[in-house]
Structure 1
């Protein structure tokens, strides 16, 4: 059963539908402010996915939840709240981001016999404590990060908003951010099919070791900024983008780079020649010697 990609995708879809239904009823029937209702609904959905990840012995059941959850939240508000231009632009940005990321996940997903190397590593290192790490670190923590990132969208749908040039600018920047992320992924897929070097050194990857992560980080800063222009001086709504940035900078990227260092010779030289995130060209030692 786990060897079939189609069946594996149907299983994960079923899990997410169940998570969404239980999350919906949690949101509808808990008598709290919308931001608390959304938080508890997200947690309920996460618990459902976690339970099935234990049953299927595969924490990668959660992987697509990162991109699917924001789309579900946006669609829920679109069908339950009155729409206006600001809400439409914010929805287009998040749905475009989520759809692109989910399609990329489907493309790279093999089946439920495959599990992310990071989860396997954590399982080996934490042993008996892995179920706790699995729930808190692999499932709950990312859900809380996503919740904080989409909270500005929830505020846009639950408070009065004003249309202005700032909304338009940061909508365009959000679209450019997930478009850059998509281009980086396409370049990586092409590189893996026609691998002729150890590291990808062309396109966006010539200027940044993680242009896909950069696009992800910028996406949520732009969404936060869009919401601030739409709602007024609610600067605290940038907190989710900040947490997301810190997560990628101090957790996701270091883990990925340590993994590459262990598997690929010459990583330290590659790292010295290519910036981590900012797409600013950094000359290689070879180019410096030639010019000298």
Structure 2
């Protein structure tokens, strides 16, 4: 199977699954499931390319394992949050702003299907890599472990913060959240360099850089930080504005001088 045939099949599946997800949100009134479906489709794309690819066996196995486990963790985390909480404030705002226009929601879901294709480019490169280098695979695993570990810690710290009713309307400044306003996004971004490491040796290995580049653009300027911070300002106002002044937006760094000590530090 050629890469073009595989990509065509993948796109058809992504469109079909996202259409079902869109139809489901018309019943549940919760568009947050689009994130669960997106993560699942991206992980599925990696496994699919690993199976149909013609590259060396070891990079393909590593691709399926690393991307599959990444997607399983992220989709499970998002599903627990989406299924037990009201619709995410970002999507609730869009629902109100768009007057619940389902044509616009359908367009958003189809845009996510297209993003699945964009983010699967590094997987196609890895699956076609004819070379096996133990060092590159080890490097990919190391990047993956650090990134997934950091993202999991950030998610748990924020979840623990939210369970305390005393923190309602306040901004989490504990743990990793003291050093970055979006540590989960930062480690999500670094995770994509694992596939760059796996792609080294392929004739078109540089295309794997599309993964971290596209994720950085999406998180920092498109669908990630701008939407999250706009919602945080609406819900937490001056407290979040102070957090913005004191804390690095993306790359973890020490808070600016005069930042308050962490409140209820998490361990």
> Do Structure 1 and Structure 2 share a fold, with TM-score over 0.5?
yes
Instruction: Quote how far apart the aligned CAs of 1:74 are.
Output: 3.6
Comparing both chains, which one has the higher relative contact order based on Cα–Cα distances under 8 Å and sequence gaps of 6 or more? Answer: 2
SS at match of 2:192: helix
- Maintained 8 Å contact 2:144/2:191: yes
- Maintained 8 Å contact 1:145/1:243: no
Is 1:85 paired with 2:58? yes
RMSD: 2.8
CA distance in 2, matches of 1:131, 1:107: 25
Structure 1, unmatched stretches of 5+, are 1-27, 288-292
CA distance in 2, matches of 1:136, 1:50: 9
Q: How does 1:236-251 map to 2 (within 5 A)?
A: 236-251=207-222
Tell me which residue corresponds to 2:123: 153
CA distances 1:65-84 after superposition (whole Å, capped 9, x unpaired): 12211332344455556872
- Maintained 8 Å contact 2:82/2:88: no
Q: Structure 1 residues 211, 93: closer, same or farther in 2, change over 3 A?
A: same
1:271 to 229, 240, 244: 244
2:92 to 120, 129, 145: 120
Instruction: Quote how far apart the aligned CAs of 1:166 are.
Output: 2.9
Q: Which is greater in Rg?
A: 1
Tell me which residue corresponds to 1:162: 132
Q: How does 1:1-292 map to 2 (within 5 A)?
A: 32-77=4-49, 84-110=57-83, 114-127=86-99, 130-137=101-108, 139-194=109-164, 197=167, 198-223=170-195, 225-251=196-222, 252-264=224-236, 265-285=238-258
CA distance in 1, matches of 2:230, 2:126: 39
CA distance in 2, matches of 1:78, 1:237: 15
- Maintained 8 Å contact 1:81/1:157: yes
SS at match of 1:59: coil
Q: Structure 1 residues 123, 107: closer, same or farther in 2, change over 3 A?
A: closer
The runs of at least 4 consecutive aligned structure 1 residues that moved more than 4 Å come to 77-83
Q: Structure 1 residues 235, 159: closer, same or farther in 2, change over 3 A?
A: closer
- TM-score normalised to structure 1 length: 0.76
- Maintained 8 Å contact 2:21/2:33: yes
- TM-score normalised to structure 2 length: 0.82
